[in-house]
Each structure stands twice: as structure tokens, then as C-alpha cells.
Amino acid sequence: MELIEALRTTGSIRHFTAEPVSDELLFAVLDDARFAPSGGNRQAWRVIVVRDLVRRRRVRDLYLDAWHDYVGHLLAGLIPFSPLASDEDRASALAQRSAAEALSRPDGFPEALDQVPVMLVICANLEVLSATDRDLDRYQLVGGASIYPFVWNILLVARERGLGGVMTTIATRNEGALRDALAIPPTYAVASVVALGHPSSRHTRLKRNPVETFTSVDSFDGPAYGAS
């Protein structure tokens, strides 16, 4: 597959066929994905392939619990878990928790997460991350630059090899319980849960905002950048 085609068609896939993913195929995906860039080439990622049904169900339960909070934000008209949320916003989202739970359906992705063909939990080694925004008086973001390119590589390679998948961070809301469920040491953070499998529908062309809407010249409030 051509790179540009892959970039424009690799969307989030949450529904899969019953066809299993072989160990050989999954290994090949991870073997190619490992060439992602990372700060100092320290490759701070750690992948847990979750197979045990009890552990899978635990991850599902923790994901679903956080998902209800996510939906509660949406029902309250808020950006879920925004770093700039006020105490009032948080209270408004919490008030929608019961309504969010009522929207659950047995065949939904969160409710059936334990049944996905491949469940990966991606962790980040905090001991080797370079987080240059560590001491800034704002939400910390930069350290993820050494982890999420690897996660994205997993999805791109999966696409190339006939699979589909999704990267989700929702379960991280319950990171402490995830640590207990998967024996994750305290020096690691949970970066993402990735589901992979053979997609039940075809990949389609993605829609994104045009370049001019997010690129400016010389300053944040400068003129929009566009092709000459």
C-alpha cells in the first residue's frame, strides 16, 4: 500500500470479524512498529499482550467505568476530561453518570472489549522519558512524543497487513487498578489500550480539517498558511 493512501484511510476500527490473528502476524506487526522514533532512541514502550480471559474482563470493566464518565461529559455538552475543565464542568459531567450508564448496549465496543481478537496494553517507562514540559505550570504533554508514534506505527502496520484497530486512552483513567490487574510497576504509565483484528467493514477515506484552518505564518495569530 502507498504511504499517502495509508495515511488518508487508516481510521479507528472497533468492530472485527471472528477470524483470529495469528501470533506470527501480530509479531510481524510489532516487529515493524518498533522502528518508531523516540527521544534519545530510548524506546520507552512496553507492550502487554492480554490473553487471559479474567484479565481481559478486568481491563474491559475498567475501560467501561471510565467510558461512562466520558459519555457523561458528552451528555453535559463538555469536552471529555479537558485539561481546562472547571470544578463546575466536572460536577456537571458527574451528574450525567447514571444517564451515561443507561446508554450502554451489550454489543458496544466498551462493553465487548474483552472479546476483541487482540488486546494490547501499551505502557511508558517513566524512567527514560524526556518530558521537557515537566516543570511548566500546565498540563504535561511532551513525554507522549516518545510513545505515541510507536502506537500509531502499530496501527499503520496493521493496516498494511490487512488488519484494523484503534488506539484508546480511556482506561488510563483507572490506571491504578490497571496496574494491579496487569502487574505494571509504578515506574511505568499506561499510555494506551489498543484493539486489533480483521475489520468487519472496509477502511474508508477520512475527513479532516483543511491545512489553512490550523496553520498560520510567523505567529499564532498570523495569516493562514496555504499553498501558493
Structural domain harbouring 118: 3-63+106-202
**Using 50, 70 and 90 to split pLDDT, how confident is the model at 117?**
very high
Q: Is residue 98 part of a domain?
A: no
**218 within domain boundaries:** no
Local structure of residue 137 (DSSP, 8 states): S
Grid cell for residue 138: 500546565
Strands (E), the chain: 45-49, 118-125, 164-168, 188-197
pLDDT score recorded for residue 141: 94
On average, the pLDDT of the chain sits at 96
Asked if residue 92 belongs to a domain, the reply is no
Q: Which residue has the cell 477520512?
A: 206
Does residue 211 belong to any structural domain of this protein?
no
Query: Looking at the predicted structure, is the pLDDT value of residue 98 above 90?
Result: yes
> Is it the case that residue 189 has pLDDT exceeding 90?
yes
Judge whether 221 lies within some domain: no
Quote the DSSP letter at residue 144: G
In the chain, the number of structural domains is 1
Is the CB of residue 207 less than 8 Å from the CB of residue 133?
A: no
Is the residue at 113 inside a domain?
Answer: yes
Rounded to a whole number, what is the largest CA-CA distance in the chain?
57
CATH number, position 16: 3.40.109.10
Does a structural domain hold residue 126? yes
Reported residue count of the chain is 228
**What's the pTM?**
0.94
Give pLDDT tens digits for 121-154. Answer: 999 999 999 999 999 999 999 999 999 999 999 9
Q: Which residues of 89-126 are buried (b: 16+ CB within 10 A; e: fewer)?
A: bbebbeebeeebeeeeeeeebbbbbbbbbbbbbbbbbe
- Averaged pLDDT, 33-45: 97
pLDDT category, 63, cuts 50, 70, 90?
very high
Is the pLDDT at 228 greater than 80? The verdict is: no
Instruction: Check whether 201 has a pLDDT greater than 90.
Output: no
CA distances, 138 to each of 72, 151, 227 (Å): 24, 25, 34
Residue 78 maps to a domain: no
181 phi and psi angles, rounded to 5 deg: -70, -35
